[in-house]
Structure 1
């Protein structure tokens, strides 16, 4: 497996992973819109954001992805924290350890950057994902809240 920063060519595959976590979506069927292009470019241009992919050995197929955002703060003795978002492993490749490997590599990146904490949120309906994160050592320490803003 290859773990690397996502490139523009990976964007349809990443969006396919995010489109439906229960089935494999063909990246060729994904139409990338202008807002997604802007968001991907902004992630790439921001030194505190990384969109990472896990590919097969030849790099041709994106099997997983996640976004890491490094957040400065006064807590944790002034150490950054890493926020993990958009974690996905392709539906037909789950259960083989790829997700654990992806999360381990993300934690290693955060540790290398001096982060004192890795955090994430997960939809309350994703009970299998919650068991997965707990197996990796994540603790349910806080209750999360979100406010969707209408434009």
Structure 2
């Protein structure tokens, strides 16, 4: 398996993972819109953001541009954002979002490996804390995060803004 920064070629597979966590969607069936393209370009250009993928590593030799091989399958993804702050003794904190593992590959430790690698990246960067939020209805995900050592330390709030 390979853990790496996502490339533009991975975008349909990542969107497929985010679109439906209960079934495997064919990335070829996913419409990548202009808003997705802009968001991915912004993540890719921002040194405080990373879209990371875990792949099966079977894609063959990467292209000259470092892009994955055409046959490589994205098994999981997450976004890691680094936030500077005055708390935590001035250390950055890492925020983990959009954690997904393909429905047909769950239960084999891929999610734990994905999170372990993300925490390792945050630690190497000097972060003092890794945090995440999860929808209240994702109870299996909550048990998963708790098994990894994450504590329910805060109550989260969101305000949906309409365009």
TM-score (norm 2): 0.92
Partner of 2:15: 15
Partner of 1:49: 49
| Structure 1 unmatched runs, 5+ | none
Out of 14-23 and 50-59, give the one that drifted further.
Answer: 50-59
> Using the alignment, how far apart are the partners of 1:150 and 1:8 within structure 2?
28
| Structure 2 unmatched runs, 5+ | 60-71
Partner of 1:31: 31
Match for 1:81 among 93, 97, 114?
93
> Using the alignment, how far apart are the partners of 1:108 and 1:29 within structure 2?
33
Matched residue of 1:143: which SS?
Answer: coil
TM-score (norm 1): 0.99
> Using the alignment, how far apart are the partners of 1:71 and 1:133 within structure 2?
21
> Using the alignment, how far apart are the partners of 1:130 and 1:150 within structure 2?
28
Which consecutive segments of 4 or more residues in structure 1 shift more than 6 A? none
Match for 1:64 among 42, 62, 76?
76
Matched residue of 2:134: which SS?
Answer: coil
Superposed displacement of residue 57, structure 1: 2.4
Superposed displacement of residue 58, structure 1: 1.4
Superposed displacement of residue 66, structure 1: 0.1
> Using the alignment, how far apart are the partners of 1:37 and 1:28 within structure 2?
16
1:10-68 per-position Cα deviation (integer Å, ceiling 9, x unaligned): 00000000000000000000010000000000000000000000000214000000000
> Using the alignment, how far apart are the partners of 2:57 and 2:15 within structure 1?
21
